[in-house]
Amino acid sequence: MADVFDALTSRRPYKEPFSNEKSFAILKEAKGSHFELQLIDIFFDRIDEIMAIQKKYMDISLPGMDGLTAAKIIKADDLTKKIPIIAMTAHAMKGYEDRAMEAGCNSYITKPINTKTFSSTISGFIGQ
């Protein structure tokens, strides 16, 4: 969810950033149709933490700041270190999962997503 929120609120080559309010509305509207009900609820239950991350790391997609660097920074901050990070990536090369875990990621999912294991992986972090 945080990745979708980041995509909505970030400038992309094909769109201008949406406001937080518009992004919240899009996520709420998609609840149950495009996104699991529980994931949306967890996202909004932790919105203060997510907004703190967004404020502190607004330009997380700038060159030089990859996901593993972001994970290290998030896990080093007392305010955000307890937030579970699931690396979701197309990088399925040998050793990349180890690098993600060493950076502080709590789990690792490769794309394309295996629908048989995806839900169980996510479910392990619901309620944390």
Q: Specify the higher pLDDT residue, 65 or 8.
A: 8
* CATH 3.40.50.2300 domain extents, the chain: 75-128
pTM: 0.52
* CATH architecture under which domain 75-128 falls: 3-Layer(aba) Sandwich (3.40)
pLDDT of 75:
93
User: What is the spatial distance between Cα 73 and Cα 94, in angstroms, rounded to a whole number?
Assistant: 24
Res. 93 pLDDT band, cuts 50 70 90 = confident
pLDDT over 90 for what percent of the chain? 13
What's the sign of the alpha-carbon dihedral 74, 3, 60, 18? negative
pLDDT over 70 for what percent of the chain? 89
17-65 confidence digits (pLDDT tens) = 888 899 999 988 888 888 777 888 888 898 888 888 776 665 444 455 6
